Amino acid sequence: MVLSKEIKTVSILGCGWFGFALAQALVSLGFDVNGSTTTPDKLQQLEAENIKPYLVNFTADSILADESFFQTDVLFICIPPKRNSVELNDYPDKIKSILKASNNKTSKVILISSTSVFGDENKSVNENSATNPDTDSGKVVLAAEEIFRALNPNDYTIIRFAGLIGPDRNPGRFFAGKTNVPNGLTPVNLIHQIDAVGIAISILDKQAFGKTYNACSPTHPTKKEFYTKAAMESGHPLPEFVEEKTSWKIVESLNVPKFLGYQFSGDDLM
């Protein structure tokens, strides 16, 4: 990979499970990386990985952060919505607050989103498909996307991740030993952390900004196939699934192959 001469500094707002892995990968490629956390105890962990640590706290109304964090070539917003209802509903306003804080300071902004913006409508969907979320989290994520597009109508970059798996997220545990798990024949939509990071870096490498990317493995085994094998390989009790196919979707990407030419490291989830 040839590093872009134009992109030298990357700020990652939210060095959680994905953001931290992305920051580590970018440091290894020679980028100057700023990483944020809301936890003081994690500052030392970031510094140990040569990530410039920032303590950033934000609400729907305000952000407490050193302004230099937002003075960067590319800003990744890697903040998933909280699960509790009050903070969940605040999520779109938090994204709006972050975008205002970065305005005129950051050249490019990449919003990490989710394929939950698509409801289970028993069909395949891609970046051109209508978004009809059927969960509360999907609805607030879509609202955040719409705010992002409204503030950056000609230059927004969105990565929608499918279900993330990888280190410390062993899928063999998800349904281990459970019985009568519904929808056993529905296809899974997943992406490994390696590919999630790889797609993000590929956007930087190819300067492929200004688009929305569905980031999901092109392989879609059934829930029964995938989770039974995962449990078997990790030594967990095997789950038992109801052999039915209701409420499903297959997430496909037109833009990842077209604009990135990205090859999934785990093309075959099986």
pLDDT at 5 (0 to 100): 56
- Measure the CA angle with vertex 208, ends 206 and 213; round to 5°: 125
Q: Are the beta carbons of 159 and 213 closer than 8 angstroms?
A: yes
Q: How far apart are CA 222 and CA 119, in angstroms?
A: 18
Tell me the two tokens of residue 136: 């509360």
* CATH class as words, domain 9-166+189-218+250-260: alpha beta
Domain range list for the chain = 9-166+189-218+250-260
Q: How far apart are CA 169 and CA 240, in angstroms?
A: 20
Tens of pLDDT, residues 232-266: 999 999 999 999 999 999 999 999 999 999 999 85
Q: What is the chain's mean pLDDT, rounded? A: 93
DSSP class of residue 208 equals: -
Run of H or E residues at 188: none
Tens of pLDDT, residues 169-212: 999 999 999 999 999 999 999 999 999 999 999 999 999 999 99
pLDDT at 159 (0 to 100): 98
